[in-house]
Structure 1
Amino acid sequence: MSETDLLFTTDDAAPARAESLARPWTILIVDDDPEVHAATRLALLDTRFQDRPLAFVSAFSAAEARARLPTLRDVAIILLDVVMETDDAGLALVRFIREELNWQATRIILRTGQPGSAPEHDVILQYDINDYKAKTELTQTRLFTTVVVALRGYRHLINLETSRAGLRQVICAASSLHRTRSLDLFAEGVLLQLTAILDTQAHSILCTHRRHNGSVTVLTGSGRFAGLSTNPDDLDMEVRERLTATLALRRHVFGAEYITLYLPTPGDREVIVYIESGRPLTELDISLLELFGHNISIGYDNLKMWQQLEDANLLLERRVAERTLLLTESEADLRRFKSAVEHSSASILITDVHGVITYANQAVLETSRYGLDELLGNRASLFKSGAMPDQLFSVLWDQIRSGKSWRGELLNRRKDGTLYWEAVTISPVANATGTITNFVAVKEEISERKRLEEELRRLATTDPLTGTLNRRSFFERSSSDDFRRQHQGNAAVMMFDVDHFKSINDTFGHAAGDAVLAAIAAICRATLREEDSVARLGGEEFACLLPGVTPTQARLTAERLRTAVAEHAIVLADGRQIAVTISVGLALFTQGDDTLGTVLNRADGALYLAKKHGRNCVRQN
C-alpha cells in the first residue's frame, strides 16, 4: 500500500503468521467502527519493534474499554476514538486512564473522524494525551510512524522506572546496613540495574567467591535463575563451566549472548555476575557493564565490612558486660582491663543499682564535656535532655532490673546544653550469687547519622527548589486516618499556578522562573497558617490543604494569598523586578469525598475557570 492510500478504506484480510516467542507490545484499539479495528490490525500486521511483535486488544465502546482496562497489564499504546457513545466518550476515558488507573507511561493517541467535535488545540491543552490524529490523515506509513514513536516513548518511560527501582534497592541497602538482609537487598538492586542497562529481561546471577578456600555462594538470581538456593551445584552444567572459566581467567568473559563479569574486591572476595542478555551485546552495553561492575565490587566490599563491624560491635558489647563483672570482683582483673576500657572509643559508664555513677571512661568525658568529679556520685539522669518520653525510661529500668540488656537510642544533653544522640546498650552485672550489683552502659555518639537520616527524610518529602512538600508527601499527609477523622467536611484545597509562567521563562530565563517559584513559596509560608500544607505538584502548579476552615475562611485565605502575590515585586539576581499574579481554584471537602484526589480534581476545575475568566482571580468549585 502506498502512503497516499488511506488506511481506513482497506478491506484486505490480515495474513496469518506464526506466534512470536518474544513478549509482544500490547496495543488497545478503542473504536465503535469494526472496520477501523480490522484496518489497524492489517496495517500493523508484520510490525516489530525492538524485535518484539505487536498484540492487539479491541474494545468497541468507551464503556467496554473502561471495564476491560483494569484487567490488562503493560498496555503500551491506546488508539482511542473521540466520538463513540457520546461526543466526548473518548476524552472521558482519557481522564479515567490517567487519574483513576494512574497509567502515566501508556501512550494515548486520539483518532477522530470528526475533528470539529473536539478541536485539537483544546484537547491537547486540557487532556494528558500524546498525539491527536484525524482518521483521514492516517496512511499506513503514518500509522506505522506514529506507533513506533509512541512505543519508543513508552519503552523509555518503563526503562526509567526500572532504573529507579534498582537505585531504590541499592540506596535501601546502603541506608539499612544494620539489618541482616541488607546484602540481599543490595544484590537484588544490582540485578535490577543490570536489567535497566541492557534494556531487556536478562537472566542473571550474582555470586561471591573466597580466594583462599574456593567456595562459591549464589547471592541472588533473576529471570530463569530467580529463587535459586545459595548452592552453585543447582545451576546447570553450562553455567557452572562459564563461572569456573571466569574465576580461572580472573577477567571478564564475553559470549555471543552472555557476559560474565569478574569483580575483585579490596578484601579476600571475588564477585561474579553472570548475565544472559537474550540478544547480542553492543560495545556500549559492555562499557556500561564494566563501569557498573567496578561500583558493584566496591559496594559489596563496603557492605561486608559494615556487617563485620556490626558483628564486632555486638561482640564488644557482650564482652564489656562480662568483663565489667570481673572488674568488681578482682583487683588484678581490674588492672588488666582498666586500660582497655579507659582508652576505648566507645563511651563506657558504670552505675550502681540506683543509677548513681561509679565510673566513666575518657570517651564519656569527651562526649558529655563534664569533668569526672562532676559525674561521680551523680545519677545518670544528669544526661537526660527532657526530650525523650518518660515511658521509655520506665521500660528501660524494668528491663535491666529483670536481668536483661536494653538497647536503644537516646537524645542526651551535654554540660553546655547542646543535644546529641547516642546508641546505648545497658547491661546488668551480677555477682556470684546472681544478685545485680551494677549496670554497664556502652554508648556511641550517632548525631551525624541521625542528621543524615533526617536530611534523607527531608529530601524524600520536600521539593528541593521551593522547600514546600512534594506531591507524594502532600497526598500522604492528607490521606492519614487522623486527618480524615478530624477535618473531613471542615477543610478545603486550593490549587494555584503562576499566570503566564512560560512567558516569564522565555523572557527572563529559567533561573528567573525558579526564583519566581521560590518567592511564591516564601509568600505562602508568610501568608498561610502553620497548620496549612503547601506543596509543589509540578512545574508552576501548587496545592494547599487548609484544615479546620469554614467556606468563608477558605475563600478569604485564597483571596489573601492571591493579593499577597500580586502586591509582591520579585527581585532577580541581576536587580530586575518581576510582577507576577496567580490564578486560584478552591474546593471544599464534603462528606462524600473518599480521597484527596477527588477534591483536588474539583479545585483543578475551579483553577481552569479562574484562568478562563482572565487570571489573577479566585474561583470555587
Structure 2
Amino acid sequence: MEASTENDMLDIIEDDGQTGGTATGRAWRLLLVDDDDVVHASTKYSLHDVETLGRRLELTHAKSAAEAHAILREDDDFAIILLDVVMETPDAGLKLVRIIREELKLTTLRIILRTGQPGYAPELAVIRDYDIDDYRTKSELTRNRLLTSLFTALRAYSHIHALELSRKGLERIIAASAGLFRRSSLRSFCEGILLQLGGLLDVEANGFVLARLAPTPALAATGSSDCGEPLILAAAGPFRHLSGTRLGRVDDEPLRTLIASALEGKRSVYLDSATVLYIPGQSGDDLAIYVATGREIGPDVRRLLEVFCSNVALGFDNVSLLDDVRSLAYYDQLTGLPNRTLFLEEIGGRLAERSAAGDALAVLLLDLDHFQAVNDGLGHEAGDRLLMAVANRLCSVFGDRNAVSRIASDMFGVLVRLKRTTDQRELVRAIELCFVDPFTINGHPIATRVSGGYVLAEEGERVGKQDVHRLVRRAGMALKGAKRGGRGRILRFDPVMEEELHGRLSLVSRLAEAQSNGQFSLVYQPQLALSDGTTFGSEALLRWQLPEGGWVPPDRFIPVAEDAGHILSLGEWVLRQACLAQVRWRDGAVGRLRMAVNVSVRQLRDENFVRGAERILTACNADPRDIELEITESHAMENDQVLAMVRVLRGMGFSIAIDDFGTGYSSLSRLQQLPASVLKIDRSFVTDLGTLPESRSIAATIVKVGHELGMTVLAEGVETAEQEEILRSLGCDAVQGYLYAKPMPAERFERWILERSPERSPEQSPATVS
C-alpha cells in the first residue's frame, strides 16, 4: 500500500482512536469477492449508512478471484477483503489468499473468509499462516455478526496500519537523515532539510523557511551590526526570495512573529495551517523551520518529527563545524575575503567555465607599499583597519563573488575576466583609482600606494593544479618586477621575466660555491676632496669572477644574494676584508683612510649584525671611526627597526652614509632622524649635469639639504672635468668616479695612493672634507 502511505498515516493518527462522531468524507474501503449476486446485494444493503471508528464503509465488488486479483494489482488501498472460498474452483478463494500475502505482499489488509459449503473450510494452519482474521459460513454471517467481524478486523487493521506507517516513517527519517549527512556545506544541508521535510509531511514546497539564530563566521568577521539577529538560511516557494535575509527585515509579520516566537520560547509551534519546528543547537546556535502545512499536525506525526529534528540537530552541529572549519580553511578571518587556498580554486573554476571567444582571465596580485611602516608607526590595530578598508574598496570595484582575495599579509588577489585586450588599461586604471584617495584610519588619512603584477590566462588554458600555480607564480614575477622598478606600478607578466628568474636561480645555486672557492674579491675606488684634491677615503666594492674568466656584474648578483639570504655571510666577509685592508694601509705607507662599505637592508634587519661587526673590529684591530657604512636611501627610510639599528651602529663609532640619495622617497623629517654624516648624490644625476638643467637643480638641492643637516655631500660617478667643475660650483664637498680612478685591487690602490702623494706618511690623519 505504498501509494498513499503518508495520507493514510495522517488520517489514522488524526482519528486518534475515536469511535464516535460523524464521518468526515473519509471511508474504510472493503473489497467483496463472491460469485453470488445475491450475496453482493445483501451485503451492500447490510452495510448501507454504517459508520464505525469515525468513518463510513465503502464497498467494492468482484465476481471472481481473478477479477479481485486484477483489482488489487491496480489498487491495494483496502482495509478488509470479504472473500468467498469456493468460486471458479473449489479453492479459488484460498489461492487468492496466498497471492495476497505472498505475491502482492499485502500484510496489512485484513481477510475475512466466507463459504456456503462448510466442507471446504480451510485448515487451521492456513488460517494461522496467512493471517486470516475470521472464517464464517454464509448462513451464520447475519448482519450483526458481519458488523462485529468487520469492527474487529478494522480495529486490527487500524493498529497494524499505524505500526506499519510508523515503521515506514522511521525508515524515511533514517533515509532523510542519511541524505542530509551526505551534505557537507551549510547551505546544501539547509536546502536538504526543507526537501526531506516536505517529503515526510507530503507537503509541496510552497512554504518553507529555515532561520538560524547565531551569526555565521563570515558575518562575524566583517563586524556586521546585526550579527545577533536570526538569519534565514534557506527558503522555498513564495518565500524563496527571503534566503540570506535577516529576520527583522522580513515584511511578512505573521511569518516573522511565528519564527521569532519559536526561537525565543525555545519550543515548536503547531497551528491549524502552519507549523514552526524548533531545533536547539550548541551554544545557542538554534534553528526554526516554518512549514505551511495547510492543516494541523497530529500527535503521532509530531513524535516522528521530533525524531527527525533530533537528527537534524545532530547533523546541523556537524555540518556547522564543517562549515566553520571550511571558513577557517578558505576565508581570511580579518577581512572575510577568500584566502589563498580558495583563490587558487577560484582560478581553476573560472578557467573551466565556458566563455566568449577572445575572453581572457586576468590573475592580478597587489601588494601594499611600505605597509610595515603603518604597523610600526600606528600599531597593528591600525594596520588591520587599513587592510579591511583596502578590502572593502577593492570589493566595491570588483563586485563579483570571490573576485577579491587576501592571499598574504598585505597582498591581495583579484580575478577579472577581460573582454578585449584594451581592457587591460581599464583594469590598471581601476586599480590605481582605488588608491587615489587616502584611507581614513582612526581619524587619520593614510595615503597608500600599491604595486601589482598580473598575467592573462587565455581561453583554452589548461586548468590543472600545476597550471594554476604557474599563473600565480607568473603574476608574482610581474609584481616583484614592479617593486624592483620603484614600486607604485602595475606590470603585466612578460616571458622575459621568467627567463630572468631562471638566470637568478642559476646564480643562487652558484653563490655558495663561489664564496667557498674564493671567486669573490674586493676592489677599491678612491674618494677625493674637491677643495684640494686630496684622497681621504675609498669605497670597497665587491666583484665576482667566474672560474672560466668572465665577471658577473654586481647589479646582477647582489640583488640575488639579498633575496636568497647569502648576503648575510657575504656581507660579513666584505666587512672583514675591508677592515683588514684599512688597517694594513693605516699601519703601512698609505696611512689612515676612511673605508666605505656597503651594507644591505637584510644585514640591518639581522639581530646578529651588531655582534658580528664588533667581532670583526676586534679581530682586525680596526677603529670604527675609520669605517663608513653606506646604506641606500630607500632602505634607510624603511622602518623603525632599521632606524634603531643605524643608531646603534653610529653609537659604536661607525660613520653612516646615505647612498643613492635622490632616487628614493625620503621625507625630510625622516632624514633628519638618521644619524648620518655623509650624503651621496646618485650617479644618475651626475651623468646629466652638463646637459639637463633638471639634474643640476636636483644636485644643487641635495647639496643644500645635506649642508643644512650638517652632512658632507659626496658625488659618485664623476667622469668629466665639466661635471667636476659644476659640482665644485654647487658647493659639493667630495667626489669619486672614473675621472680620478677606476676601482682597483688593494695592492694597485696602494701604489696609486703612494704615486699621487709620495710625501704621505702612516701617521697622517685622514683628510676631512666637511
Q: TM-score, normalised by structure 1?
A: 0.41
TM-score (norm 2): 0.34
Structure number with larger C-alpha Rg: 2
